[in-house]
Amino acid sequence: MTHTDHAQLAAQRKLARINEIIVVVITVAALVGVLVGGESGRVIDAIVIVVLCVVPWLRVVWLVARWRRIGDMRFVAVGVTLLTLTVVGVALTTLVK
Protein backbone atom coordinates (compact mmCIF):
# COMPACT_ATOMS: atom_id res chain seq x y z
CA MET A 1 0.00 0.00 0.00
CA THR A 2 1.24 3.45 -0.88
CA HIS A 3 1.15 6.50 1.34
CA THR A 4 -1.80 7.82 -0.68
CA ASP A 5 -3.71 4.57 -0.12
CA HIS A 6 -3.09 4.80 3.62
CA ALA A 7 -4.23 8.43 3.64
CA GLN A 8 -7.42 7.56 1.76
CA LEU A 9 -8.14 4.66 4.08
CA ALA A 10 -7.58 6.88 7.12
CA ALA A 11 -9.91 9.54 5.70
CA GLN A 12 -12.60 6.95 4.96
CA ARG A 13 -12.31 5.51 8.46
CA LYS A 14 -12.56 8.99 9.94
CA LEU A 15 -15.70 9.72 7.92
CA ALA A 16 -17.21 6.36 8.89
CA ARG A 17 -16.51 7.04 12.59
CA ILE A 18 -18.06 10.49 12.36
CA ASN A 19 -21.14 8.96 10.70
CA GLU A 20 -21.43 6.37 13.48
CA ILE A 21 -21.31 9.09 16.13
CA ILE A 22 -23.90 11.18 14.29
CA VAL A 23 -26.27 8.20 14.01
CA VAL A 24 -26.03 7.52 17.76
CA VAL A 25 -26.53 11.19 18.68
CA ILE A 26 -29.48 11.57 16.30
CA THR A 27 -31.11 8.38 17.59
CA VAL A 28 -30.80 9.51 21.21
CA ALA A 29 -32.06 13.00 20.34
CA ALA A 30 -35.07 11.57 18.47
CA LEU A 31 -35.94 9.37 21.45
CA VAL A 32 -35.61 12.33 23.81
CA GLY A 33 -37.86 14.37 21.54
CA VAL A 34 -40.51 11.67 21.59
CA LEU A 35 -40.27 11.13 25.34
CA VAL A 36 -40.26 14.83 26.23
CA GLY A 37 -43.22 15.63 24.01
CA GLY A 38 -44.90 18.98 23.79
CA GLU A 39 -43.26 22.01 22.20
CA SER A 40 -39.78 21.03 23.41
CA GLY A 41 -40.14 17.59 21.88
CA ARG A 42 -41.25 19.06 18.56
CA VAL A 43 -38.26 21.41 18.52
CA ILE A 44 -35.87 18.54 19.26
CA ASP A 45 -37.48 16.40 16.55
CA ALA A 46 -37.27 19.28 14.05
CA ILE A 47 -33.55 19.62 14.81
CA VAL A 48 -33.11 15.88 14.26
CA ILE A 49 -34.81 16.13 10.86
CA VAL A 50 -32.62 19.08 9.84
CA VAL A 51 -29.48 17.20 10.87
CA LEU A 52 -30.62 14.12 8.95
CA CYS A 53 -31.02 16.28 5.84
CA VAL A 54 -27.82 18.30 6.21
CA VAL A 55 -25.35 15.53 7.10
CA PRO A 56 -25.47 13.73 3.73
CA TRP A 57 -25.13 17.09 1.98
CA LEU A 58 -22.06 17.91 4.06
CA ARG A 59 -20.58 14.51 3.20
CA VAL A 60 -20.86 15.35 -0.48
CA VAL A 61 -19.25 18.76 0.15
CA TRP A 62 -16.38 17.00 1.97
CA LEU A 63 -15.98 14.53 -0.91
CA VAL A 64 -16.03 17.29 -3.54
CA ALA A 65 -13.28 19.11 -1.65
CA ARG A 66 -11.26 15.90 -1.45
CA TRP A 67 -11.78 15.10 -5.14
CA ARG A 68 -10.73 18.63 -6.06
CA ARG A 69 -7.61 18.31 -3.93
CA ILE A 70 -6.58 15.10 -5.72
CA GLY A 71 -7.53 16.54 -9.12
CA ASP A 72 -10.44 14.29 -10.10
CA MET A 73 -12.52 16.91 -11.84
CA ARG A 74 -15.11 14.46 -13.18
CA PHE A 75 -16.17 13.56 -9.66
CA VAL A 76 -16.03 17.22 -8.66
CA ALA A 77 -18.45 18.01 -11.49
CA VAL A 78 -20.80 15.21 -10.44
CA GLY A 79 -20.69 16.27 -6.80
CA VAL A 80 -21.29 19.93 -7.59
CA THR A 81 -24.18 18.95 -9.88
CA LEU A 82 -25.74 16.87 -7.09
CA LEU A 83 -25.35 19.71 -4.59
CA THR A 84 -26.82 22.19 -7.08
CA LEU A 85 -29.81 19.94 -7.76
CA THR A 86 -30.54 19.60 -4.05
CA VAL A 87 -30.35 23.37 -3.52
CA VAL A 88 -32.62 23.99 -6.52
CA GLY A 89 -35.04 21.33 -5.26
CA VAL A 90 -35.23 22.88 -1.81
CA ALA A 91 -35.62 26.37 -3.30
CA LEU A 92 -38.43 25.24 -5.61
CA THR A 93 -40.18 23.40 -2.81
CA THR A 94 -39.98 26.47 -0.61
CA LEU A 95 -41.22 28.79 -3.33
CA VAL A 96 -44.13 26.55 -4.38
CA LYS A 97 -45.54 26.42 -0.85
Give the tens place of pLDDT for each residue, 18-62: 889 999 999 999 999 999 989 999 999 999 999 988 988 998 998
CA distances from 17 to 12, 32, 38, 54, 77 (A): 9, 23, 33, 17, 27
pTM here is 0.70
- Name the residue ranges covered by the structural domains of the chain: 3-96
SS3 content of the chain, % helix, strand, coil (to 5): 95, 0, 5
